Amino acid sequence: MNERKIKTAVLISGGGTNLQALIDAQKSGIIKHAEICAVISNRADAYGLERAEKAGIPHYVVEKEKTVKDPSGKPDENDSRIKQADFERKIVEILKSSGAELIVLAGFLAILSEDFTRLYPERIINIHPSLIPSFCGKGYYGLKVHEAALSYGVKVTGATVHFVNEIPDGGKIILQKAVYIKEGDTPEILQKRVMEEAEWELLPKALELVSEKMLKKSV
């Protein structure tokens, strides 16, 4: 009889390198207590969808409609809230239909509302390319994080896996790993080294850790 595993949905926006790290870790047995049951992208051109296809994982695209502007030229806040709610409703439908119990944000650049995160308390984990609480929160994503680290002149950066709550990058830390900054680093070089030395190692370990704890609690 097969041991039960925590069904996990991975949300992406781009190339899916962290998704690939999870797929590889699942195949190699590093991840024993979780199983990727769905990949959801908020962009139809995300290469991570091809990674999911090659791995035989069901994959979906949920794109958020653009918000209209009011007569003053500013985004219509009411329209924005409606579109956000619709965007999240479609994601929840996929999560429910796939049986997902845990969500991994792996380079998912869309903001999720408090209404969404409240549905999955300590069931959403995210990878962030810095040592939180440094260079995190609203506006810190992608290369912007590494640009800030180099601009500030820190000697050590890294990656953090944390639970997601209503505060951007504000949830409980699960795992962290430091990466040293080297002379001559550019944001692109640093981004690659943080991914290779920290992100691709931490995220599978965190998923295994969280899923194992979830299974023990369910016994």
Which residue numbers are catalytic? 128
Closest to 202 (Cα-Cα) out of 106, 101, 59: 106
Determine the distance from the C-alpha atom of residue 167 to the mean position of all C-alpha atoms in its chain, rounded to a whole number: 15
Q: Residue 184's beta-bridge partner residues?
A: none
CA 31 to chain centre: 17
Identify whether the C-beta of residue 143 lies closer than 8 Å to the C-beta of residue 48: no
Per-residue CA distances from 98 to 7, 85, 185, 205, 208 (Å)? 8, 20, 42, 23, 19
